[in-house]
Structure 1
Amino acid sequence: MRIGVLGAARIAPAALIRSARVVDGVEVAAVAARDRGRAATFARRHGVPTVHGSYEELIADPTLDAVYVPLPNGLHAQWTLAAIAAGKHVLCEKPFTSNAAQAIAVRDAAAGTGLVVMEAFHYRYHPLARRMAGVVREGDLGAIERVETSMCFPLPRFSDIRYQYDLAGGALMDAGCYAVHCLRMLSPGEPTVTAAQAMTLRRDPRVDRAMTADFTLPGGGTGRIQASMWSSTLLRIRADVIGTRGTMAVVNYASPQFPSRFTLTVDGRRRRERIVGEPTYVHQLRAFARAVAGERTNLTPPDDSVAQMSLIDAIYSAAGLPLRP
């Protein structure tokens, strides 16, 4: 599979370039950026053989099988749709689109094409996420009463594009999309928002620097997500599930190739498990390549992305903030 990169994004080396070196049958074959010089520098640094002068030129390249979209949030839908129209498979960084309406448009465009369109929730492809989901689905904890997930990290540089409303920025879109997705994975069904509260930027009150949201879960349980890029909670990446028979606590569910902890308590018996695996991005790229080859390995397809973006829209509405444009 020959894949092209739209934009010389900072995430691309970790998310794609290094992973492609260890995933059989994958070659990062081309890159394009708004600044051709920047794309050329990226290509030299990372051994990418072809530099295109525009996103359109890369997408039209007949030698490419797939496109990786690590652009700012507000550009995801536009260029994913363009890649689909050109007959390319797409690995699109999270969040999939700016809002649910765009996610529906992408899903509908991909339907019936035979193309693989995958939202890059890399954590979902690691054995840790599989174990977490299995504990809940197999009933180890009994009936689920409470799910809490968080993704908080410090980003005090408010000029960063992740704080720009016109580019679909905000803590919920960047950090919080992980917490929302993990909550959905661990819930017995799709959650419903009951309340949300945002901490916003002074210079642009449309943009959240932190978000907390509460939910009801199918079966009568409750849930909460906490997300921030700048708040009193500087660093917290955690998932906790409480059931009628026990609890599950996971520290650093998002990047378990770094220090993480999985603790399960069932019927009063507590144990820790060490769940190993390659970096999450390697697992994700391997799943993408296998999906392109015809295997059913896409865990984050457009239908899932529509549900994800619908819940994010509902959180913004509950918090009294406008949907991302």
Structure 2
Amino acid sequence: MTVRFGILGAAGITPSALIAPAHANPDVRLTAVAARNRARAEEFAAEHGIEQVLDSYDDLLASPDVDAVYIPLPNSAHAEWTVRAARAGKHVLVEKPYASNAEEARRVVSEIAGLPVVVMEAFHYRHHPLIHRVEEILAAGTIGTVTSASAVFDVQVPDRSNIRYNWELAGGATMDLGCYSIHLLRTLLKAEPTVVSAQARRFEGGQIDEALTAQLEFPGGVTATASSSLLEDVQAQTARLVGTLGTIEFEGFVKPHGGNSLTVTVGDHSTTETVAPDVTSYGAQLSAFVAAVEEGGPVVIDAADSIATMEVIDACYRAAGLEPRRAVPWA
């Protein structure tokens, strides 16, 4: 089976997140793109080998040449177009975060319940062998019982006109970056946390977080810190798990194919390895999505997972004295 993808918008992330892995996957075709600016869509299609340009998002959803839709639109548009695509009978790979807030995420799940489509949030890192290797080490009990953990994702975004600084588009460091830190901790600890406290640096004194650090507590008294920043000069993608017998530290968890290292320390003995550097997380994600479409599901990142991530994000904002992002009205 070949899965024919349509793309909503001509976002900067699309070439690495979908187009490159699609061209490397014999079970995928890129059949259509639509953007607000048709000239931009035509340029994008010509540059990236997309078969046709359609006039509007609605035209793309109505196209018989599209089986699945990739949604890399601004955060505020994720929920609406996920639902519209699912209603049109299209499978959906939607960029994170799933929605503007937890309430909207729950609405999405309610709206698409029972529809014969696969919908998956694009936490691509989750599909990489690096994360599977960390899970194996934890399951083996190598570091004992986890007592604390931390995850950091910092990327400098100096352009203050970037959508990440836009309240109306549901921007913010936690929405764009911290969601990874939160999702990683939830994934590896296999539980839902309580947000104990959070500290944010506000963009121009408003509701957008340029940086945010949250202190979490997981069942069993496990403490954790999730942080993200748009301000740091050097990108950081680091995580650490401390157990009763040792520690796991790993770098490059968001994009392991860009370089990763995994160090396990037990007592005085440490081992360091690089895990599957030739496997891209985006390629692994696309393969998992295609398999779910071919087999009728399930997906690793399901609806309950997506809602739970948004609940923690909302709680982080409230703990930091900020408002959860507001949903744009849609029908």
TM-score grouping bracket, smaller chain normalisation: over 0.9
Structure 2 counterpart of 1:122: 124
Corresponding residue SS for 1:226: strand
Aligned residues: 323
How far does residue 299 in structure 1 lie from its aligned partner after superposition?
Answer: 1.3
Structure 2 counterpart of 1:274: 274
Counterparts in 2 of 1:238-253, with a 5 A limit?
A: 238-253=238-253
Q: Which amino acid aligns with 1:279?
A: T
> How many angstroms apart in 1 are the aligned matches of 2:84 and 2:9?
15
8 Å contact from structure 1 (residues 287, 297) kept in 2: no
Structure 2 counterpart of 1:35: 37
> How many angstroms apart in 2 are the aligned matches of 1:246 and 1:111?
43
> How many angstroms apart in 2 are the aligned matches of 1:3 and 1:291?
14
Corresponding residue SS for 2:239: strand
Counterparts in 2 of 1:1-325, with a 5 A limit?
A: 1-202=3-204, 205-231=206-232, 234-276=234-276, 277-294=278-295, 296=297, 298-325=299-326
| Cα distance change, pair 296–272 in 1 and its aligned pair in 2 (3 A) | farther
| Cα distance change, pair 80–216 in 1 and its aligned pair in 2 (3 A) | same
8 Å contact from structure 1 (residues 246, 268) kept in 2: no
Corresponding residue SS for 1:180: helix
> How many angstroms apart in 2 are the aligned matches of 1:266 and 1:293?
42
Q: Which structure 2 residue ranges, 5 or more long, are not aligned?
A: 327-331
Corresponding residue SS for 1:167: coil
8 Å contact from structure 1 (residues 171, 228) kept in 2: yes
Deviations 1:297-320 (A, max 9, x none): 621122110000010000001011
How far does residue 25 in structure 1 lie from its aligned partner after superposition?
Answer: 1.1
> How many angstroms apart in 2 are the aligned matches of 1:267 and 1:24?
47
Q: Which amino acid aligns with 1:236?
A: A
| Cα distance change, pair 3–183 in 1 and its aligned pair in 2 (3 A) | same
How far does residue 256 in structure 1 lie from its aligned partner after superposition?
Answer: 1.1
Q: Which amino acid aligns with 2:106?
A: I
> How many angstroms apart in 2 are the aligned matches of 1:72 and 1:137?
37
Deviations 1:43-92 (A, max 9, x none): 11111111111111101112211100000000000100100111110000
Corresponding residue SS for 2:41: helix
How far does residue 137 in structure 1 lie from its aligned partner after superposition?
Answer: 3.5
How far does residue 234 in structure 1 lie from its aligned partner after superposition?
Answer: 3.8
Instruction: Report the TM-score, using the length of structure 2 for normalisation.
Output: 0.94
How far does residue 259 in structure 1 lie from its aligned partner after superposition?
Answer: 1.8
> How many angstroms apart in 1 are the aligned matches of 2:293 and 2:74?
25
Deviations 1:93-141 (A, max 9, x none): 0111110011111112232223111110111001001112232234322
> How many angstroms apart in 2 are the aligned matches of 1:292 and 1:110?
16
| Cα distance change, pair 315–296 in 1 and its aligned pair in 2 (3 A) | same
8 Å contact from structure 1 (residues 188, 218) kept in 2: no
Q: Which structure 1 residue ranges, 5 or more long, are not aligned?
A: none
Sequence identity, in percent?
43
8 Å contact from structure 2 (residues 261, 274) kept in 1: yes
Superposed CA RMSD: 1.4
> How many angstroms apart in 1 are the aligned matches of 2:163 and 2:264?
38
8 Å contact from structure 1 (residues 154, 230) kept in 2: yes
Q: Which amino acid aligns with 1:58?
A: L
How far does residue 188 in structure 1 lie from its aligned partner after superposition?
Answer: 4.2
